[in-house]
Amino acid sequence: MTELLNGLKRTNMCGTLRKNDEGREVVVMGFVQKTRDLGNLVFVDLRDRTGIVQLAFDAGVNSSLTDKARSLRGEFVVAAKGEVRLRTGKNINENMPTGEVEIDVADLRILAEAEIPPFVISEKASVGENLALKYRYLELRKAYLQNNLIMRDKITRAARDYLSANGFLEIETPFLGKSTPEGARDYLVPSRIKHGAFYALPQSPQLYKQLLMIAGFDRYYQIARCFRDEDLRANRQPEFTQIDIEMSFVEEDEDVMAIAEGMIKEVFAKCKNITFTKPFRRMTWAEAMNRFGSDKPDTRFGLELHDISSAVKNTEFSVFRQALETGSVRAICVRGGADKFTRKEIDGFSDFVKDYGAKGLAWASKKEDGSTTSSFYKFLTEKEIADIEEILSADKGDLILAIADKKNKVVFDSLGALRVHIADKLHLYDKNEYDILWVTEFPLLEWSDEDNRFYAMHHPFTSVNVKDLDKIDSKDREVLASIRANAYDLVINGQEAGGGSIRIHTPEMQRKMFEILGMSEETIKTRFGFFVDAFKYGAPPHGGLAFGLDRLVMLITGDDNIKDVIAFPKVQNASCLMTGAPDFVEEIQLKELGLDVPEEDK
């Protein structure tokens, strides 16, 4: 490389040159995007992470240099030295930031040749995901992916600057820790020293950051890598990054939420040039579920849920009557939807909600001509129909979609997802708008019929809302289920961007929580003994939260795929197509770890 450059040093990045650089001698380096041979004139587009600049060669001035330019192919790595000159007339490219200038090249160095890549390195080229991820280092040469990762860097720096300015210390916590399963599956790492024993990669730094508060560090943050062995989707990866925050001497949600809100406002101001002057809205979990069917509501559009149970409380319609035994009947009204969706599309909605546990979808289409077509009106009385339409304020042209189930969770999940699905189809919101709000007062616990026990809705270290402290000793399942937590999520455009809680900080309350969750004394000692012991020595009131950095970048860039904001992501089965991980290892490595893989699995 030293011989190739022979003292040549880069003076400018390709995408930074402008009209005011006219007459300057510059050196640029990058990848060849394309060449255009016009006979005596040859033009080369040179690309680096900042953009593209045009290199110009004139055979009448230097034929050998122009011949060298003709030998270039896409993705060759070159260095070029020359004078910046203005482009004139039709030669100006108004679609490029550097379109008013070009470099009159006097010296060209080929630093590395390149084979023809397996796909075109172009924003416009469509590439299958598997091929793109196999050659991820080539896909990452595309400007939109580079811009996403540049934005990720800006967001991270803005968060660090804000937290540092507010007295937080960046402290790293271990990757190799103890398995304390209470959520997703752990990724386990076998020990070479202690055969049969395993480390667990952290699902979050939760226990460590609380221990740091007990240790007296007062305000901690970390750009933390986390690992969860769970099913993947568009906005989830097995390894991900959190902006993790914890602070001491706080007992109210407001204390932590104020810091978190300030950080998000700073990030948007610095990285997106968007200023939020008003406090973010607040909404309780109960309100979010009742109005939007989701604890991460997208409120950029209407289509709110309405409980129509009262209208059909005495109905003879068995589907509704059975649902009302323990659940509810709820509906959304799509304004003008009767003429916007065909019967086939409405049947598609019925299939859609089945993915969320619903057994079916009841619908009524009120045409503009006054006629009504419905899948369920024939089973209802005229008064029941009138009461439903009054609750929904339904009018001519509207489409009513209703779901009934014995489990309110199924009703909420199904209608909550359906309203977003319909909003996407009808383009009911501005994708460039940011809808940010806090959801508060989450339930502390959620019941599992399958396991016949309570689980912590967030995690078992979340404190009880002071208004519900008197319920904590109840033996009644319904009373326990009604306990609210000191927990809060920040929601951006219908996605959870971050969440946290005020923590339990007394050994008595922590033990009580473990007891409600059905943990035996032995289980508590085995899983959390070191953590519980720490509380004996004095723990300040503390709380915190974590933002999903990957998801935050995705929301700020406007991308809809989390893979696009991660340099080297995994695919659906948590494998890496580029490296082939996970892969089998040599027998000697297994023996060192005291492991054996059955022959049929090799």
307 contact partners, CB below 8 Å, separation of at least 6: 290, 328, 329, 330, 391
pLDDT at res. 222: 98
Q: What is the pTM of this model?
A: 0.92
For helices 507-516 and 521-534, the axis angle rounded to 10 degrees is: 150
* Residue type at 484 in one-letter notation: R
Buried b (16+ CB within 10 A) or exposed e, 386-419: ebbbebbebeebbbbbbbbbeebebbbbbbbbbb
What residue has token string 């946290």? Answer: 500
> 60 is written with which tokens?
């009448």
Q: With bands split at pLDDT 50, 70 and 90, how would you rate the model's confidence at 1?
A: very low
Sign of CA dihedral 441, 445, 446, 447: negative
What is the distance between the alpha carbons of residues 264 and 159, in angstroms, rounded to a whole number? 8
Span 258-275, pLDDT tens digits: 999 999 999 999 999 999
> 353 is written with which tokens?
């909600």
What is the three-state SS of 188-204?
Answer: EEECCCCCCCEEECCCC
What is the distance between the alpha carbons of residues 220 and 132, in angstroms, rounded to a whole number? 38
* Residue type at 479 in one-letter notation: V
Mean pLDDT, range 321-344, rounded to an integer: 95
Buried b (16+ CB within 10 A) or exposed e, 168-178: beebebebebb
271 contact partners, CB below 8 Å, separation of at least 6: 151, 154, 155, 158, 556
Q: Is 59 exposed, middle or buried (0-12, 13-18, 19+ CB in 10 A)?
A: middle
Span 24-63, pLDDT tens digits: 999 999 999 999 999 999 999 999 999 999 999 999 999 9
End-to-end alpha-carbon separation of the chain, Å? 43
Mean pLDDT, range 207-224, rounded to an integer: 97
Question: Greatest CA span in the chain, whole angstroms?
Answer: 93
pLDDT at res. 602: 61
What is the distance between the alpha carbons of residues 236 and 550, in angstroms, rounded to a whole number? 9
Span 500-536, pLDDT tens digits: 999 999 999 999 999 999 988 888 888 888 998 999 9
